[in-house]
Amino acid sequence: VEDWECFQAILDHTYGKHVKSEPGLHPVLMSEAPWNTRAKREKLTELMFEHYNIPAFFLCKTAVLTAFANGRSTGLVLDSGATHTTAIPVHDGYILQQGIVKSPLAGDFISMQCRELFQELNIDIVPPYMIAAKEPVREGAPPSWKKKEKLPQVSKSWHNFTCNEVIQDFQASVLQVSDSPYDEQVAAQMPTVHYEMPNGYNTDYGAERLRIPEGLFDPSNVKGLSGNTMLGVGHVVTTSIGMCDIDIRP
CA atoms within 13 A on the CB side of 216: 25
Q: 76 near 240, Cβ under 8 Å?
A: yes
Could you give the 3-state DSSP secondary structure of residue 145? strand
Sign of the torsion angle spanned by Cα atoms 234, 237, 240, 244 = negative
pLDDT digits (tens, 9 = 90+) for 123-182: 999 999 999 999 999 999 999 999 999 888 899 999 999 999 999 999 999 999 988 888
pTM of the predicted structure, to 2 decimals? 0.83
Question: Which residues, 6 or more positions from 37, have their beta carbon under 8 angstroms from its beta carbon?
Answer: none
pLDDT digits (tens, 9 = 90+) for 63-98: 999 999 999 999 999 999 999 999 999 999 999 999
What are the respective helix, strand and coil percentages of the chain, to the nearest 5? Answer: 45, 20, 40
Distance between CA atoms of residues 83 and 86, nearest Å: 10
Structural domains in the chain, CATH included, are 4-103 (3.30.420.40), 107-221 (3.90.640.10)
pLDDT digits (tens, 9 = 90+) for 170-216: 999 999 998 888 888 888 888 999 999 999 999 999 999 999 999 89
